[in-house]
Amino acid sequence: MLARPAVLITVIVSAAVSGWILMSLALGFGLPRANGGPLPIVLGGISLVVGIGALVVACVLLFKAFRLWALLILIPLVMALSVGVYSFSIAFAAVYPPHPSSDAVPPGGEQVSMAAEDGVRLSGWYLPSRNGAAVVLRHGANSTASATVRQAQTLNEAGYGVLSTDARGHGASDGQGMELGWFGDPDTRAAVDFLAARVDVDPDRIAVIGLSMGGEEAIGAAGVDDRIKAVVAEGATGRTAEDKAWLAEEYGLAGVVQGVLDAVTYGLIDGMTTADPPPTLGESIREASPTRFLLIAGGAMPDEQLVAERLAAVDSDRVEVWVVPHAGHVQGLGTAPAEWRDRVIGFLDHALGEQSG
């Protein structure tokens, strides 16, 4: 008599787990690779459909087998599966991202490569300095150094040397990618090593500029490398669950729920990657004294503004905020090119000591 219920429960659990895994893989691993051709789209779509079907089968069997009791089981089951799909899909997407390709070196640049402290080879390009100062330029998630060309040219026209590298697992760089920037410290340190050894660069006049994930990497790297004298971070919001603790204060219950989801998600990510979880952005700013920071937020991105204001409160003497009116995520240069140039170059000139040429 016990065999049939045991088999039924096994089938229900197997269907639920299989559906959860397939949906997580589809949303976090397959569909994010849609620009890689039709195969990821087809496999991701099939996994998503089969995964949803398996979950529906599990719920139907559960209800038919237990009727009224099923309602008491279904609610926590669906909630647990929803959290699982959400957290695992984000974790997969963060730890096993696509490997985007990079474009050619911009005019006037030279192809360069360097090794991070763990031996991973990083590739990028360098525009020589004419004023003795130089900038490490860090791109955002699921991108490459090619996405920073316009910023690089603006900085180089003002005399600054610019080194833009593909993050590991992106473009021409080796290694496993990581879309939360947890490898940002060693990758940025390798870039600073490269600049410090250049004859056209004063090692005491090095800054880091980052976009989105790159901005978070820039802030983090400054906390562990005192050679970084200035940081410009555009669109930085956070790369740990602790970075998002403010959500509970701003959004009440919805923020608390998001905090729980983030705790689960980042815990999974920590177990899936070889990178160590970084300090919070606020902790990195505190550790980076006397480094100066310019935080740029899009006027159309209220969360970016809230984060920038909170980070500025860590040390208002060293951290300034510029909100670009009407700008979207990392669209400061595109929305207000003249002001972006004036503010960023003016900040660097002041923080690094000499006027650019």
| Tens digit of each residue's pLDDT (9 = 90 or more) over 264-293 | 899 989 998 999 999 999 999 999 999 999
* The pLDDT of residue 124: 96
* The pLDDT of residue 50: 77
* The pLDDT of residue 158: 96
- Cis peptide preceding 5, ω within 30 of 0: no
* The pLDDT of residue 72: 64
Contacts of 146 (CB under 8 A, 6+ apart): 102, 103, 139, 171
Those residues of the chain that have pLDDT short of 70 are 1-9, 26-44, 65-75, 77-78, 81, 354-357
Contact 97, 88 (CB under 8 A): no
* The pLDDT of residue 290: 94
* The pLDDT of residue 42: 65
* The pLDDT of residue 357: 41
* The pLDDT of residue 104: 77
Beta bridge partners of 232: 209, 294
Q: For the chain, where are the E strands, in sequence order?
A: 110-115, 121-127, 134-138, 161-165, 206-211, 228-234, 292-298, 319-324
* The pLDDT of residue 35: 57
Q: Which CATH superfamily is domain 110-239+278-352 in?
A: Alpha/Beta hydrolase fold, catalytic domain (3.40.50.1820)
Extents of the domains making up the chain: 3-95, 110-239+278-352
Contact 47, 22 (CB under 8 A): yes
* The pLDDT of residue 3: 45
* 3-class state of residue 219 by DSSP: helix
* The pLDDT of residue 329: 96
* The pLDDT of residue 78: 67
* The pLDDT of residue 37: 56
* The pLDDT of residue 29: 65
Contact 118, 186 (CB under 8 A): yes
Contacts of 86 (CB under 8 A, 6+ apart): 261, 265
Element containing residue 138 per DSSP (H, E) = strand 134-138
Q: Could you give the CA distance from residue 127 to residue 165 in angstroms, rounded to a whole number? A: 12
Q: How far is CA 135 from the centre of its chain?
A: 20
Contact 183, 113 (CB under 8 A): no
